[in-house]
Amino acid sequence: MKFWKKIYIFSILVFVIIFNAASIMVIERSHNRMLEQEIDSALSQYMSIHSSVNAIVPIVRIYDSIDYEKTVLTRIANEFVRTNKEQRVYLDIRDETNQAVFSNIDFQMPEQRKELDKLGADQINYMLRDIDERTILFTSNMVDVSQTSYLFTYMVDVSSVYQDRVDQYKFFVKVDVAACFLYMLIMFFVSRGLTRSIERLGRTAQVIAQGNFSERVQLQSKDEIGVLADNFNNMAAVVEDKINELERINQEKQRFINNFTHELKTPLTSIIAYASFMRTTKYDEEMFLDGLNVIYSEGKRLEMLSLKLMNLIVLQEDDFELELHDLGAVIAEIKPALDMLAKEKQIAIVTECGPGELRLEKDLMKVLIFNLVDNAIKASDKQQTITLQIVWQDGQCVLAVMDQGIGIAKEHQDKIFEPFYMVDKSRTRSGKGAGLGLAICKNVAKVHNANIRVTSNENHGTKVEVVFAPTFPKGGMQE
């Protein structure tokens, strides 16, 4: 089914449902209000009867005569019926033996009257009943006169209220047929007009799908279809950028594979070469010792590479439980190990840690700090200084590692977090690195919902900041 036909059919269905539902609600609401008015009027009329009866109670008690009571009640009932003769009202008064004291009804009273069940003194019950072709409102109440209880039933013919509802529905059916016919006629032209632009959009999409990304939709309208056409044109313009991005990602993957292969090839070549040389050469203690040292060193390098790769895999797959820790205390725990790492270059490691607790995975945070400091040491010259700083600002914690080393060129700063990417391959390899440290740091930061910022200038040092989500410093609460 074509789209314009769907719009045409569904819009008609929605119109019919909403229009009919709204009209029915209006008619029923009007009917209920009129019925409530009739009920309120009946209760008001009944209260006037009740007031008249209460007024004669003292006189009836003086005479203390049942016949006199019935005579007075009959007189009050006749007067009430005569006064309300044009309002289709009925009154029925019965004594304790269910004998009629007064009744002007012209229909058979129902045998079962649920409104009389558990009817107590000073309680008025009412019920609507269909009798013959009329709808009558029954209002009942027990009234004590002297020492006798009488059942008063006041009845009002409310058939006109229901007839009025029937008349409204008949009128509505006529209006409904006319409105639906007019709506169908208008929607035919509207749906056809709306879908012309969509058909044009579809033809353009087919052209673009064939590879002609320069094709654009030519629409001048400012409505939603025009906005859709503009967005479609923007999408077509973005497709090329997305393709370039996919190519870049593929290049990164290929670079990862190439670097990984290269990192494996170098130590494996050394191990195989020295092992082969030792197998085919006469035993010489010094030469064998040198060869074993090379094999051991390259084996340790492969072990370090495998461990770091395992860290990357674990950081991407596992869920970690974070607990509150003082980040300064975590740094203090690994400070001796960092000092030992920097001892060879006589580099001073300075800590400036403000107190504050964060939700951390302690061991992972040590890995992050160790890798950042290790990179800073490799980039620094002898007797320089590396600063570890914790700053709290408006509940946000920033961990900074600052060195005075060679820095990172601008063209490398957006790639340093890629696995195996090395700015200076010869320097990194001589430092027994594999270009995985910052990739691990990035994943550790992700686990802690933190971001890493790098600020660096060549020959002026590097500042790496780990920015954690806002929290509260130790001992402090925000108002």
CA distances, 426 to each of 270, 277, 280, 346, 434 (Å): 17, 26, 31, 22, 11
Is residue 80 within 8 A of residue 154, CB to CB? The reply is no
Least confident of 9-13, 33-37, 119-123, 424-428: 424-428
Q: 358 or 118: which carries more pLDDT confidence?
A: 358
Beta strands in 377-460 (DSSP E): 385-393, 396-402, 451-456
Sequence-ordered list of residues with C-beta below 8 angstroms from that of 229, at least 6 positions apart, any chain: 197, 201, 217, 219, 221
Could you read off the pLDDT of 38-55 as tens digits, one per residue? 888 888 888 888 788 777
- Can you list the positions of beta strands (E) in 222-347? 323-326
β-pairing, 385-393 vs 348-353, is parallel
Top CATH class of 3-165 equals: alpha beta
What are the pLDDT digits (tens) for 345-403? 899 999 998 888 888 888 778 878 888 898 889 888 888 999 999 998 877 899 999 99
Q: Are 213 and 244 in contact (CB under 8 A)?
A: no
Is the pLDDT assigned to residue 468 strictly greater than 80?
yes
Element (H, E) at 125: strand 124-131
Most confident of the following: 85-89, 421-425, 443-447: 443-447
pLDDT value, residue 421 = 65
Residue 332: count other Cβ atoms within 10 Å of its Cβ. Answer: 12
The share of the chain scoring above pLDDT 70, in percent, equals 86
The DSSP H or E segment spanning 359 is strand 357-360
Find all residues with CB under 8 Å of 336, minimum gap 6, and list them.
none
Phi, psi at 129, each rounded to 5°: -135, 145
Q: Which of 131, 121, 421 is nearest to 262 (CA)?
A: 421
Query: Residues near 440 by Cβ (< 8 Å), separated by ≥ 6?
Result: 308, 311, 312, 315, 367, 368, 371
Confidence of residue 478 (pLDDT cuts 50, 70, 90): very low
* CA atoms of 374 and 368, how far apart (whole Å): 10
Cα–Cα dist 388/353, whole Å: 8
Amino acid at 348: A
Domain ranges of the chain: 3-165, 321-467
Task: Say which range, 225-234, 259-268, 289-298, 380-389, has the weakest mean pLDDT.
Answer: 259-268
Q: Is the pLDDT of residue 224 over 60?
A: yes
Instruction: Say what the pLDDT of residue 431 is.
Output: 46
User: What phi and psi values does residue 389 have, to the nearest 5 degrees?
Assistant: -130, 135
Report whether 213 contacts 232 (CB < 8 A): no
Token pair for 182:
């007019």
Here the tokens at position 381 are 């010259």
Which of 57-66, 190-199, 259-268, 348-357 has the largest mean confidence?
Answer: 348-357
Q: For the chain, what is the mean pLDDT?
A: 80
Which CATH topology does 321-467 take? Heat Shock Protein 90 (3.30.565)
